[in-house]
Amino acid sequence: MTPDQLFIFGILVLSLVLFLWNRWRYDLVAVFVLLLTACWGLVPASQVFSGFGHPAVITVAAVLLISRGLLNAGVVDLLARYLTRIGDRPWVQVGALSGLVAICSGFMNNVGALALFMPVAVWLARQSGRSPSFLLMPIAFASLLGGNLTLIGTPPNIIISAYRAETAGIPFGMFDFLPVGLVITVIGGLFISLVGRRLIPTRATQKNEADLFEVGSYLTELRLPEASPFVGKTLRDFQQTIEDDADAIIVALVRDGRKTTMPPAYQVLKAKDIVMVEADTENMSKIMGKTGSELVADAENKEKCELDTENLKLFEVIVTTNSILVGKSANRLELRDIYNINILAVARDGYRLKQRIDKVRFVPGDILLIQAKEENVQADLSRLGCLPLAARGLDLDRSRRVVLAASMFALALGLIALNIVPAAVGMTICALAMILTGLVKINEIYESIDMPVIVLLAAMLPIGAALESTGGSKLIADGLLSIGRTLSPAIMLSLLIGSIMLLSNVLNNAAAALLAAPVAVALAKGLAASVDPFLMAVVIGASCPFLTPIGHQSNTLVMAPGGYRFGDYWRMGLPLSILVIACAVPAILLIWPLHLAAY
């Protein structure tokens, strides 16, 4: 083994350790190991950042923009509207939801497709008196299966298509993945609907949306008398003082008969100002004592002050893996001042957190009960990286722009399928058209692109090339060949898919595909066989991490809302993984013959 091969294998081991350590985000890990590889001289200086212009990276970015356009236009909401009519039979709910999520995942970012249907799933589960755990894991797995249907369904497909273009001269087409993808999606979907749903642990159900939080605080009016020490001070001073001893929040300020919801934090308080505070009765006495305020009405006739429902409403939202909230507290981000959002409660793993809101550091999957202005909430949540949860299923809006968005997307798919334009060009044209027609707003362009994934792809592409150029991939393939020369092609493909599945359960699926692709090509060359079935095996293995919540963002996203634990995933994921391998291998060998090259 040469020094270069030893180094590249060391880099791959280091990458795996850092990915599993999870202290650095995966894009930072990818950039770090890329720079180490470049410093060793395995990546030429002119090629270090070439990945950012790679067609696969451009295509992924364009697909993310198109997904936002389809969301804004209401295309998926139109489909989701009909799900509210499917009844409450368990297998029908699981089958219908999983089927729609899988179809949408074939044509847009699979995490985006899952996120759009999660609110509907939660709403259906609660309406049927079931726990959301009954539906959330099935649709998460369905989003992974559906990603195998088309070229743009998931990043591994795009990566492998580009890799085929480099090695064989012709990329995979838009629907070349469909025959094998359809087999595993249909059979996997039937398994999930009829058998797999019975393997999911049932967590305690919530009877309605409010039960999760049980916010029983009073919205109370406190008047500042002339003698109050806070006359002349800011509302922020008032808030910080009451937070020292009480879990309370300011929701409005009334001055001269006019109520201001979400008043500015640096509003200077005056005598006779009325501050509307939400807190329980135990904390209210502490607040009055510290601020020198008094109740507007006496204790016996005190009324609950209701919010102006035209301006301020309650929403349940979920913190996504890419949210700017992750690892930070509400105070640090100044959510009230910058985003006009009050956080009233936080639920984690199915239970409301009892600690003070300002002390909570958010993690992916946290469910927040917030107050926000209805007209601004969608934009604010998008900026924060949060998704509306339970209430969204009740308010699905049909948009006139559905036809426009669907037509643009269908035209782009047609141009790519007919080989008139490459995938990167076709998807970019569609994304640009959605921006120019207002389906994607200017301020949403960069918010829609998952930059950590883009950086990961761009950084790992040169490392994959270095693995091949040093002969590392051939070395791995030769080792596999020495073991598997006596094995049948079906068993070889099964072992390849299974190995990559295990890798993708601890690595990002795009990284798994990038590392496995050169090995698959070298393995095909060693067998003097077509490279296509081996690349298809990489696609299936990288796209189906069902065993852990960290294998894919879809799995992570449903963990907290479903109340799942780490070990819950393999209960349905293991038999589903075995079933996928059993179905995919015969389909691959039938559609992509081992010894007959398709190019």
pLDDT of residue 309: 40
Neighbours of 403 (CB within 10 A): 11
Q: Looking at the domain assignment, is residue 311 inside a domain?
A: no
Q: How many domains does the chain have?
A: 2
pLDDT in tens, 17-40: 887 777 788 889 889 999 999 999
Residue 278 has phi, psi (to 5 degrees) of -105, 120
pLDDT in tens, 155-204: 999 999 988 988 888 899 999 999 999 999 999 999 999 998 888 877 55
Name the residue with higher pLDDT: 81 or 307.
Answer: 81
Name the residue with higher pLDDT: 278 or 164.
Answer: 164
Question: Do 196 and 99 belong to one domain?
Answer: yes
The stretch 70-80 carries a mean pLDDT of 71
Separation between Cα atoms, residue 155 and residue 161, nearest integer Å: 10
Question: Do 201 and 248 belong to one domain?
Answer: no
Question: Do 198 and 242 belong to one domain?
Answer: no
Q: Residue 568: which pLDDT band, with cuts at 50, 70 and 90?
A: confident
Per the rule left: phi > 0, alpha: psi between -120 and 50, beta: everything else, 320 is beta
Compute the radius of gyration of the chain from its Cα atoms: 27
pLDDT of residue 412: 92
Q: Are strands 258-261 and 386-388 parallel, antiparallel or unpaired?
A: unpaired
Q: In the predicted model, is pLDDT for residue 81 greater than 90?
A: no
Q: In the predicted model, is pLDDT for residue 205 greater than 80?
A: no
Domain that holds residue 584: 3-205+406-591
Question: Do 124 and 38 belong to one domain?
Answer: yes
What mean pLDDT value characterizes the chain? 81
Q: In the predicted model, is pLDDT for residue 596 greater than 50?
A: no
pLDDT in tens, 279-328: 765 677 778 878 888 876 433 333 444 444 445 677 778 887 778 888 88
pLDDT of residue 296: 67
Q: Looking at the domain assignment, is residue 599 inside a domain?
A: no
Name the residue with higher pLDDT: 183 or 442.
Answer: 183
Pair 598, 171: CB distance under 8 Å: no
Question: Do 229 and 198 belong to one domain?
Answer: no
Q: How far is CA 327 from the centre of its chain?
A: 17
Per the rule left: phi > 0, alpha: psi between -120 and 50, beta: everything else, 11 is alpha
**∠ Cα 246 247 249 (to 5°):** 110
Could you tell me the two tokens for 391? 């209430």
Separation between Cα atoms, residue 405 and residue 65, nearest integer Å: 12
Q: Residue 103: which pLDDT band, with cuts at 50, 70 and 90?
A: very high
Question: Do 425 and 282 belong to one domain?
Answer: no
pLDDT of residue 334: 73
Question: Do 108 and 44 belong to one domain?
Answer: yes
Q: Looking at the domain assignment, is residue 338 inside a domain?
A: no
Look at residue 258 and give its three-state secondary structure: strand
Least confident of 203-212, 348-357, 512-521, 558-567: 203-212
Q: In the predicted model, is pLDDT for residue 485 greater than 80?
A: no
Question: Where a domain ends, among 272, 292, 312?
Answer: 292
Residue 229 has phi, psi (to 5 degrees) of -70, -10
Q: Looking at the domain assignment, is residue 366 inside a domain?
A: no
Q: Looking at the domain assignment, is residue 215 inside a domain?
A: no
Question: Where a domain ends, among 271, 292, 313?
Answer: 292
Out of 135-144, 377-386, 392-401, 456-465, give the one with best mean pLDDT: 135-144
Question: Do 167 and 251 belong to one domain?
Answer: no
Question: Do 521 and 549 belong to one domain?
Answer: yes
Q: In the predicted model, is pLDDT for residue 43 greater than 60?
A: yes
Question: Do 436 and 550 belong to one domain?
Answer: yes
The stretch 113-128 carries a mean pLDDT of 77
Q: In the predicted model, is pLDDT for residue 83 greater than 80?
A: no
pLDDT of residue 414: 92
Pair 450, 504: CB distance under 8 Å: no
Residue 265's domain is classified under what CATH number?
3.30.70.1450
pLDDT of residue 552: 84
Beta strand ranges found along 135-202 (DSSP E):
none
Pair 521, 534: CB distance under 8 Å: yes
Question: Do 118 and 147 belong to one domain?
Answer: yes
Least confident of 42-46, 371-375, 406-410: 371-375
Q: Looking at the domain assignment, is residue 148 inside a domain?
A: yes
**∠ Cα 37 506 465 (to 5°):** 30
Name residue, tokens 């496995």: 516
**All residues at 6 or more sequence positions from 464 whose CB lies less than 8 Å from its CB, including other chains:** 514, 515, 517, 518
pLDDT of residue 534: 94
Amino acid identity at 418: L
For residue 434, the number of C-alpha atoms closer than 13 Å in the C-beta half-sphere is 35
Tally the residues of the chain: 599
pLDDT of residue 319: 83
Name the residue with higher pLDDT: 211 or 74.
Answer: 74
For residue 587, the number of C-alpha atoms closer than 13 Å in the C-beta half-sphere is 21
Q: Residue 219: which pLDDT band, with cuts at 50, 70 and 90?
A: low
262 to 78, 122, 315, 334: CA distances (angstroms):
33, 29, 15, 12
Q: Looking at the domain assignment, is residue 482 inside a domain?
A: yes
Question: Where a domain ends, among 292, 311, 342?
Answer: 292
Question: Do 150 and 281 belong to one domain?
Answer: no
Q: Looking at the domain assignment, is residue 560 inside a domain?
A: yes
578 to 185, 191, 503, 566: CA distances (angstroms):
14, 12, 15, 19
